[in-house]
Amino acid sequence: MLNRLYQRAIQLAGSRFATIWLACIAFAEASFFPIPPDILLCPMILAKREKAWYYATICTIFSVLGGLLGWVIGAFLLEYLAMPIVHFYHAEQQLINLQEKFNAYGVWIILIKGLTPIPYKFVTIASGAAHFSLVPFMIASLVTRGVRFFAEAALLYKFGPPIQDFVEKRMIWVATAFCILLLGGLLAFKYI
């Protein structure tokens, strides 16, 4: 079943609408959606390695724009939009902790946490809730999201066929590792 899903993802990644979906997922993940854009970015690069930098650029730009929406949600719509997201993840204390850390460490929170498996939406919403200055927030988001997506693109561009071969031969292990990283990011966020 995983092999069929993987092959379907590779086919979709090569479709003419894949870039639109990548932009939508990158935007949504930075503000409210639980699935990271890497799930589509990686197969897209494996399907068309010559477009690795283009895909990383799309992912970065739309992730930063989605982060702006997350910041707005945190700054102006905390009670109405952000708190249901925070409650869904049982992350009330983590939001308070992040707000306090923004006051103490500012831009370093964005730079460090934007590279980790911690869902980026928590960083963006907490930035807005702490009323962290918008310009440094956007610059730090651009840097941290760009580093993450361009590093993935570089690795997949350089080692694409061996990585694809590895994934296809060890699908269950790769899927398990991905789930562990995603859950680990959520747990790490819980104990910030």
Q: Where are the domains of the chain?
A: 2-190
Encode pLDDT of 119-173 as tens digits: 788 889 888 988 889 999 999 999 999 999 999 899 899 888 777 677 666 656 6
pLDDT at position 190 is 54
Q: Is 115 exposed, middle or buried (0-12, 13-18, 19+ CB in 10 A)?
A: middle
Q: 7: pLDDT confidence band, cut at 50, 70 and 90?
A: low
Q: Are 148 and 123 in contact (CB under 8 A)?
A: no
Instruction: Identify the DSSP state of 34.
Output: S
Dig out the tokens for 23 from the structure: 């932009």
Distance CA 127, CA 106 (A): 9
Q: Are 86 and 172 in contact (CB under 8 A)?
A: no
Which residue do the tokens 């730090």 mark? 140
Q: Are 131 and 31 in contact (CB under 8 A)?
A: no
pLDDT at position 92 is 82
Number of neighbours of residue 41 by Cβ within 10 angstroms = 25
The closest alpha carbon to 160, from 5, 19, 13, belongs to: 13
Instruction: Identify the DSSP state of 192.
Output: -
Encode pLDDT of 30-73 as tens digits: 988 877 888 888 888 988 889 999 999 999 999 999 999 999 99
Q: Say what the pTM is.
A: 0.78
pLDDT at position 34 is 77
Number of neighbours of residue 11 by Cβ within 10 angstroms = 12
